[in-house]
Structure 1
């Protein structure tokens, strides 16, 4: 019985190193990290704008009533322009203090935010609204649909450039064939809106629509990964 136990123990000791080695990660040689980018200028197809009205008064209720009338009329006017989305934005009422911290009145500011792909309609609406409101900012960007389309087309180009760099690395190392260990595709995501700075315009009954140049935005797709060269 003792001899049997010794044989079993010896067999376990002999097998154990093999089990340990089986769990060790395989060593990798001639591994090269690579990145390749593909870019494209895409026409900005979306206009956004923020307009605001700001008024002062002694009674907050009167100030609010006056501001709300301007905003309500602006929303009514916006309904005449198809394809233009207008929604309420930031609104704030706060006290105004003078010398000796004396309350002098109240100030209220209310914003409207506009978004459209119809630049002509958007510009015309802005011109109309500027008779009672001021243009705080206007900008242009690429819509999500147009960005996705461009990114999908750039994926193929980014991978092709990755393979091109992989082949350059293989030749530089005098290697044979290579295989891709891993590869990830990354996009730049939504880019900041390209601003169009606006001057405060004097209020009048007839304000010319602002001239706009939408410009372009850069869309980028990156291929990142590693190759192993034989």
Structure 2
């Protein structure tokens, strides 16, 4: 009856996957949300359950309100409710503003803005009092790097929604925060950048390395846990990039 339950969108790969494993180690029952990679989501579930944890997978397009509601239904049916929502699903498009195909802009905003809003809406309705909602932004919002205009704009919207939701949930003891990673060595990041770019980005932080999914998962685990007074904040987990 006292077990806490976490939904993690984008939980089949990268930071989402590592977060699912990390929260499972803290005793959470995990709902691994995924869009297309069922085999990878099932792999996360298997890894958690092999070591005695509890987990199920659920497919959901985060921009589809019915699919997201069904994901929350899965959590309720399997584990009795939802205490923590980690919205790690997102989309990245790199282009100059001048050259961006507006169809790509629409797809980006559908996932990152509408998707975040839909997940936040269900979280506001269904997370139990005392829980946590954690969204994902990016440190690029502050760095204003070329080629990331559309992506950065979408994540700026995520930050705005996060701050407002924190205030709208007054009285329920629910914290709402955003994690804004710097460059993290996920497969997606490494596959979409050449070696020179990876080396340049790794040299930027004073810690002189890329982040790892485990680094970010530790930040999420802190925000998902009890006993802190962090609310309505954007945590820039980037190794010290100004």
When normalised by structure 2's length, the TM-score is 0.23
Q: Which has the higher contact order (CA 8 A, sep 6+)?
A: 1
When normalised by structure 1's length, the TM-score is 0.24
Bigger radius of gyration among the two: 1
